[in-house]
Structure 1
């Protein structure tokens, strides 16, 4: 039994960290599977915009002035010198998914897109007070920033939909593992086609 269905009037799409440094070949934090997620992300975003649901992008940003995410760089030392630097083209959203007028872009410094960002405030006000109660998560890395954000959304009482073919993992087996965890404990795992169908059905209804 489906616990809930997507209502475009109360939903927002999150596009997590689809930046050049993650997506493009040869970049410092390349995630090959992220490139495969682009068609699904684009389809979901287009359907959401058509249904009047907001699309919100995040950008993972590191700084040269100081180590803004010291444990992240401790576990991945190459990030102390390169990758996702403020003011570089590496933080830019890839051209294939470029934000449209009316979309929101939010910078973050931790895996969780809610942590010390304006995301929660945007979600709770962009469609009137507490108008959004569902987040549709796309982007990369599935097992890191997408899963961290999904868990955090759940803790804030948002309904969570993780889009299986619109997210890209790095580690072997991580995509299926995250999907299993989310589906069991934190929300629904849907394909892009299922998301689009629910958005369309709600509009017709």
Structure 2
């Protein structure tokens, strides 16, 4: 499936209006011994996420991380726990190894980390406030989505961004799922309805060189 979904490009990418979001790259999802670790498949995205983080840092594009956190004191995400009962007892608790970002992708001291309790990183968090101000007042209009897992938190956040009128770039090889079928289904859905699907190399070229050669797009 072509990354652009074989359709016209609806808007151009302007690097001065972008922010990179790195979703839930936590030990509990990605490392053996993690509470929600199933297989190594999502780890295939790590090198490309690392490339994009480093690339965006060099270009001055803000990098924003998210972490899913649950609580012992009360069930802050009860329906999620219905599908993953193990989370009632353990997993993604603040201060634990499992809740931490994997060592390969650690945020810098001055980079923002958004704590979330639901799949969508916009839901009841300060993500939108950060996006509205991290590049100056209303300086961000495009979010670049990377992370794990493709078809749950990453797709949910992409939809949340779209509903708030952010342009969405969903990076095909910098999002990881536990199975390829689910990954490809999300790419197809995002491309058709919610954003632009691009691979890392294509996105880097667009950020570095701009897309001023497009004949028709929304600015």
With the length of structure 1 as denominator, give the TM-score of the two structures.
0.95
Q: How far did residue 155 of structure 1 move?
A: 0.3
Structure 2 unaligned spans of 5+: 1-7, 214-219
User: Pairwise mapping of residues 24-173 of structure 1 onto structure 2 (< 5 A)?
Assistant: 24-30=31-37, 31-173=39-181
SS of the counterpart of 1:162? strand
Q: Partners of 1:78 and 1:86 in 2: how far apart?
A: 16
Q: How far did residue 65 of structure 1 move?
A: 1.1
Instruction: Tell me the equivalent position of 1:6.
Output: 13
With the length of structure 2 as denominator, give the TM-score of the two structures.
0.90
Cα pair 2:25 2:148 within 8 Å, conserved: yes
Residue 17 (structure 1) aligned with residue 46 (structure 2):
no
> C-alpha root-mean-square deviation of aligned residues, in Å?
1.7
Structure 1 unaligned spans of 5+: none
How many residues are matched?
Answer: 205
Cα pair 1:137 1:150 within 8 Å, conserved: yes
Q: Partners of 1:163 and 1:26 in 2: how far apart?
A: 27
Instruction: Tell me the equivalent position of 1:192.
Output: 200
Change over 3 Å in CA distance of 1:169–1:74 after alignment to 2: same
Q: Partners of 2:142 and 2:109 in 1: how far apart?
A: 22
* The structure with more radius of gyration: 2
Change over 3 Å in CA distance of 1:191–1:167 after alignment to 2: same
Q: How far did residue 98 of structure 1 move?
A: 0.5
